[in-house]
Amino acid sequence: MALNKGTDIMIRTITFLAALGLASASNAAPVVLSPGVLVDVEGDRAFAVDPSGFTQYIELGNGAARWVSPETAYPLVLADGFLVALAAPDWPGSAVVLLLNPSSGEIIDRVSFDLPETVAANFFPKPKRKFEASAVDTPEGVRIFWRHEFRELRGAVIVETDQNGDEVINPITIETGAFDLVRDQNRHYAVPVRTAFSQPPALTVALNDNERLADISGTQLRAADNRHVQTFQALPHDTFGQIYQWSVFDRTGERKGGYTSPYSRAPFVVDDGTLVIRDQPFGYAEANGSWTERGTRLVGINLASGTERWSFPVLDQEYRGPLPP
């Protein structure tokens, strides 16, 4: 079993989110730990979409849920006193943004906007189709970026010719766009970005040479909020074949604790002695031959002991269901 399957996806996700300006060593603003998981270290809270598509307010100290959104919602960003979330679309070719009260989950405002008719703004994973949305809080307001991928759902191989005259097997159609949330008194409106736009250049998850902590060997990985650094060491293991011993350091180079995982890395932050990670799903055979699976989770770990304090199941972003033969 390849236990590192999906690691590259996590790395690209953190890189993309850091590119939106959500990770800064001097900025204590909430960060997107991974798509659908927003962590506010200063507030000791997280907003995470569960497997049913509802956002829940999670206390980082004990993993308790304080509230559940009244309808399906996919958290994007905390801005202007609101939790901005993507809701289920009203109809094909549309998208809906909710502005929730972060303390109670109450819906304060609802904003609809049009998308191309070919775009399905559904954040649940679908076969051969993926809709992604992210947001950044700027001095001018919230900007929402969206991206839609579509591939023909057929069992047969499809060969097409691209604009360069080259043959492409099972081509993917990609559409992108952006909207600005504009406030007018007590209401918000979505204004499409008509001009060319680009996202800020991406930060790498692995620290550059001039960023590395001194006297610490191996690959050094930044936390989602850029306040801590993680390294890992591969160790043999009877069940998994190989596991990874993490070490977590603050920016001064002081080791704060560790954790043992089947994966060499995961999106993470540190909250007052608790390592908070978004864990990937994995499965393994027990000594008695039975099979155990763990789904995608938000996990709180005691850094001092390396043991789990709590876990919360979150929506898996990857489609893992059946495909055509």
- Model pLDDT for residues 203-257, shown as the tens digit of each residue: 789 999 999 999 999 999 999 999 999 999 999 987 778 899 999 999 999 999 9
Report the CATH number that the domain containing residue 273 is assigned in CATH. Answer: 2.40.10
The residue out of 172, 192, 212 marking a domain boundary is 192
pTM: 0.82
Q: Answer yes or no: is pLDDT of 133 > 60.
A: yes
Residue 279 lies in a domain: yes
Band of residue 171 on the pLDDT scale cut at 50, 70, 90? confident
Residue 197 lies in a domain: no
Based on the domain organization, do 109 and 44 belong to the same domain? yes
Question: Which runs of consecutive H residues, i.e. helices, occur in 53-93?
Answer: none
Q: Distances in Å between the alpha carbon of 139 and those of 180, 182, 194, 293?
A: 12, 12, 19, 44
So what's the pLDDT on residue 294?
80
The residue out of 171, 192, 213 marking a domain boundary is 192
Model confidence pLDDT, tens digit, residues 46-82: 999 999 999 999 999 999 999 999 999 999 999 989 9
So what's the pLDDT on residue 17?
36
Based on the domain organization, do 127 and 225 belong to the same domain? no
Q: Looking at the DSSP assignment, which residues form a beta bridge with residue 95?
A: 113
Query: In angstroms, rounded to a whole number, what is the distance separating the alpha carbons of residues 25 and 23?
Result: 7
Say which DSSP state 242 is in: E
Tell me which of 4-13, 192-201, 237-246 is least confident.
4-13
Residue 324 lies in a domain: no
Based on the domain organization, do 68 and 169 belong to the same domain? yes
Dihedral (CA of 18, 19, 22, 25) sign = positive
So what's the pLDDT on residue 126?
82
Residue 207 lies in a domain: no
So what's the pLDDT on residue 91?
87
Residue 203 lies in a domain: no
Based on the domain organization, do 83 and 181 belong to the same domain? yes
For residue 138 the two structure tokens come to 């700027």
Report the CATH number that the domain containing residue 151 is assigned in CATH. Answer: 2.40.10.480
So what's the pLDDT on residue 26?
38
Band of residue 291 on the pLDDT scale cut at 50, 70, 90? confident
Q: pLDDT exceeding 70 applies to what percent of the chain?
A: 83
Q: Answer yes or no: is pLDDT of 25 > 50.
A: no
- Provide the domain count of the chain: 2
Residue 216 lies in a domain: no
Based on the domain organization, do 16 and 122 belong to the same domain? yes
Averaged confidence pLDDT in the chain: 84
Contact 144, 178 (CB under 8 A): yes
Range of the domain at 96: 7-192
